[in-house]
Structure 1
Amino acid sequence: MGATERPMRRKEYEVTDTAVIRHILGRATLCRVAMVDGSEPYLVTMNCGWDGEHLLLHGAIQGRKLDILHANPRVCVEVDEDVQLVFGATGEECTANYVTVIGTGTVSFVLDSSAKNRDLNVIIGQCHPGVPKEVFPDEALSRVVVLEVQFDHLSCKAKGTTPRP
């Protein structure tokens, strides 16, 4: 077990089926990406796509997140679905149901134009189903960065609901 991995405290909520975890990643359209800027945490919400191996992200070609990732490519990513607040008569009865996947890994920058095209089409296909695949012109590709997250650890937790396959 790596330095960032810990056993899940509430084992009754743990989801260990990797096929279910991959399906959740394959449905996600938004994720939260945490990184470390020197000694400060930094968190952004990004569109995402899953190619079966990597979580794919895209964004502008400059900005704080890219400066951070060039200096330290380690990230923690969170994806959730089926989030529902459960209201009760007292504070003790209030809770939330959810499915969440958390992964740690390393970001790599996709530089090859054909790989960028492929990855952007995965993201668009996942976030905007029905939009046809396209070949992006080099000028358009020069305005975006594409990132691949290679996970070294994934965990999934489901509370109050069963993850959809």
Structure 2
Amino acid sequence: MTKQSAGHPHGPMRRKEREITERAEIDAILASEKVMHLALSDDNVPFLVPVFYAYDGTVLYFHSAPAGSKIDILKRNDRVCFEVSVDHGVIEDERACDFEARHRTVIGTGRAVFVEDEAEKIRALDQIVALFTKTHFTYPAPKLAHTTVIRIDIDQIKGKSHGFPKT
């Protein structure tokens, strides 16, 4: 699916039968959700935060206040890991230790880029807002100036599915 090195935590999938190999299925998962879990690291201290996001088929976008822990960390370390999961559930078994998670999950890594171009910023905000309403908004200049938009340029991505028939 993407470049992966043997010792990397996002290396080859151990349970190959659960790997989503079709990019269209990975894209469909990313396009279907609204919340992404974003993992950051600051001086070897992990930081995990859920964010509303949009996926344009190539990159991920999310928005934020212009200040706070997430922004401070991203200014020091632009490397991120993200996760989106759908169709959660439990596959029960007669034995307690044989219960399993039912899910479809996408995990990837990339670099966070602060969007400075106003046209790109507005396109990203329009995509995020469209997840919640059909109403089209304009963004007053003072509000737009105080809204940070971040693009994740994806380096690697992979998907995993369990509890569903193979397509």
Q: Conserved in 1, the CA contact under 8 Å of 2:38 and 2:48?
A: yes
Please state if 1:7 is matched with 2:27: no
Cα 1:85–1:11 change in 2 (3 A) is: same
Please state if 1:57 is matched with 2:62: yes
Cα 1:98–1:38 change in 2 (3 A) is: same
* TM-score normalised by L of structure 2: 0.90
Please state if 1:131 is matched with 2:134: yes
Q: Aligned letter for 1:155?
A: K
Which residue does the alignment assign to 2:159? 156
Which residue does the alignment assign to 1:114? 119
Size of the alignment, in residue pairs? 162
Residues in 2 aligned to 1:162 and 1:122: alpha-carbon distance in whole angstroms: 31
Q: Conserved in 2, the CA contact under 8 Å of 1:20 and 1:163?
A: no
Structure 1: which 5+ residue stretches go unaligned? none
Please state if 1:94 is matched with 2:125: no
Q: Aligned letter for 1:145?
A: T
Residues in 1 aligned to 2:134 and 2:165: alpha-carbon distance in whole angstroms: 30
Residues in 1 aligned to 2:148 and 2:99: alpha-carbon distance in whole angstroms: 41
The SS at the match of 1:69 is: helix
The alpha carbon displacement at 1:152 in A equals 0.8
Which of 71, 79, 83 is equivalent to 1:78? 83
Residues in 2 aligned to 1:30 and 1:5: alpha-carbon distance in whole angstroms: 21
Q: Conserved in 1, the CA contact under 8 Å of 2:91 and 2:163?
A: no
Please state if 1:147 is matched with 2:150: yes
The residue correspondences of 1:1-40 to structure 2 (distance < 5 A) are 1-2=4-5, 3=8, 5-40=10-45
Q: Aligned letter for 2:163?
A: G
Q: Please provide the CA RMSD for this pair.
A: 1.7
The alpha carbon displacement at 1:24 in A equals 1.0
State, as a whole percentage, how many aligned pairs show the same letter. 33
The alpha carbon displacement at 1:159 in A equals 0.5
The SS at the match of 2:122 is: helix
* TM-score normalised by L of structure 1: 0.91
Q: Aligned letter for 1:134?
A: F
The alpha carbon displacement at 1:93 in A equals 2.9
Residues in 2 aligned to 1:123 and 1:67: alpha-carbon distance in whole angstroms: 22
